Amino acid sequence: MKTKTKLFTGIALFLVVSLFFINLASAISIDQVTQDKLYPGEQAGVNIEVKNTLDDSIENVNLMLDLSNTNFISVGSASDSIDEIFDGDTETFNFEIKASSDIKPGDYNVPYILTYNIPNSVNSTGIVIERGTVGISVGAKTELDYFALTENPVVGQKGTVSLKIINSGLADIKFVDVKITSNGFTLLGSNENYIGTVSSNDFETATYDVIFSSDQARLSGTVSYKDFDNNDITQNFDLPLTVYTQQRALELGIIQPNNSWIYLVIIVVLVILWFVWRIIRKRRKKKKEIA
């Protein structure tokens, strides 16, 4: 009987200890991570909510971000502490971090070390150490430049207008669509041009066939796209176009004068001379026959 009693006592003790460590393993949970917008070379606040899921309070809670092998540095301390978190409560740990200037936009896992005490713990020291990671997002600012281009920009003539979109930001923009309005020219097709993707440090061009009607023409319209964070963005543009009148284009040698009338006059004169020559020839021939 004593042996059975000892066996049951040992099993019960094992279960109690096991349940304790199971609860201990889940004593703390990262409930939520929020952050301000973070861009390469800039800093932002990061707030980490920690929840106590035990039935007892925990004390001397310290959360440290391990930034040693990352592209982030702390602005101020890389750790934050709270004296006590009551059972079922959530507390927020605040950090300020800076991203390196050459980091690529995207999502990153940052390691953390969490330490705390459990009063009256069976652990000899009562200190618990937990490790894990939290996600940090690095965004990319959209930096676009617009330039207007023309081909054969002469009033009354057919040419082209183009919008050159230069992406000098650190991330691609997608689903780029360009719509223009007629202002000093007549469109010879659709006013919309779907480009697709404009990669970082690259450019794309939307081109339209037109007939120019004014030397004060402008290229205006909208560019719609999705940015790095998948937000829908619409930007307006209004750019002057360099268009020449016929006279100015002739002066600058952009177009050549139409000399076809001169060739027509020469041909008419030659025809007249040919007829005159034939008439004179016939008269001479008749005089010779009479003589």
pLDDT of residue 291: 62
CA distance 193 to 210: 14
Answer yes or no: is pLDDT of 71 > 90.
Answer: yes
Query: What value does the mean pLDDT take over residues 229-258?
Result: 86
Task: Say what the pTM is.
Answer: 0.67
CA distance 89 to 141: 37
CA distance 47 to 88: 19
- Cβ–Cβ under 8 Å, residues 77 and 65: no
pLDDT of residue 204: 97
Structural domain boundaries in the chain: 2-138, 144-252
Banded pLDDT at 63 (limits 50, 70, 90):
very high
Query: What value does the mean pLDDT take over residues 22-38?
Result: 75
Answer yes or no: is pLDDT of 53 > 70.
Answer: yes
Please report, for residues 148, 226, 268, 281, the alpha-carbon distance to residue 274 in angstroms, rounded to integers and kept in the order given. 55, 73, 10, 10
Residue 167 pairs in a beta bridge with 144, 202
The H or E element that residue 131 is part of is: strand 127-138
Query: Where do runs of H (alpha helix) occur along the chain?
Result: 2-25, 246-252, 260-290
For tokens 């965004």, the residue is 139
Look at 16-25, 35-44, 104-113, 231-240 and tell me which has the smallest mean pLDDT: 16-25
CA distance 122 to 290: 151
Answer yes or no: is pLDDT of 73 > 60.
Answer: yes
Please write the tens of the pLDDT for every residue from 181-230.
Answer: 999 999 999 999 999 999 999 999 999 999 999 999 999 999 999 999 89
Please write the tens of the pLDDT for every residue from 112-162.
Answer: 999 999 886 655 557 889 999 999 999 999 999 999 999 999 999 999 999
163: closest CA among 201, 194, 199? 194
Domain 144-252 fold is Immunoglobulin-like (2.60.40)
CA distance 175 to 233: 10
pLDDT of residue 247: 85
Phi and psi dihedrals of 8, rounded to 5?
Answer: -65, -40
Banded pLDDT at 98 (limits 50, 70, 90):
very high
Look at 104-113, 119-128, 240-249, 262-271 and tell me which has the smallest mean pLDDT: 119-128
Banded pLDDT at 22 (limits 50, 70, 90):
very low
pLDDT of residue 55: 84
Answer yes or no: is pLDDT of 16 > 80.
Answer: no
Residue % of the chain over a pLDDT of 70? 83
Answer yes or no: is pLDDT of 179 > 90.
Answer: yes
CA distance 91 to 53: 12
Banded pLDDT at 90 (limits 50, 70, 90):
very high
Domain 2-138 fold is Immunoglobulin-like (2.60.40)
Q: Would 2-138 and 144-252 be classified into the same CATH topology?
A: yes
Answer yes or no: is pLDDT of 261 > 60.
Answer: no
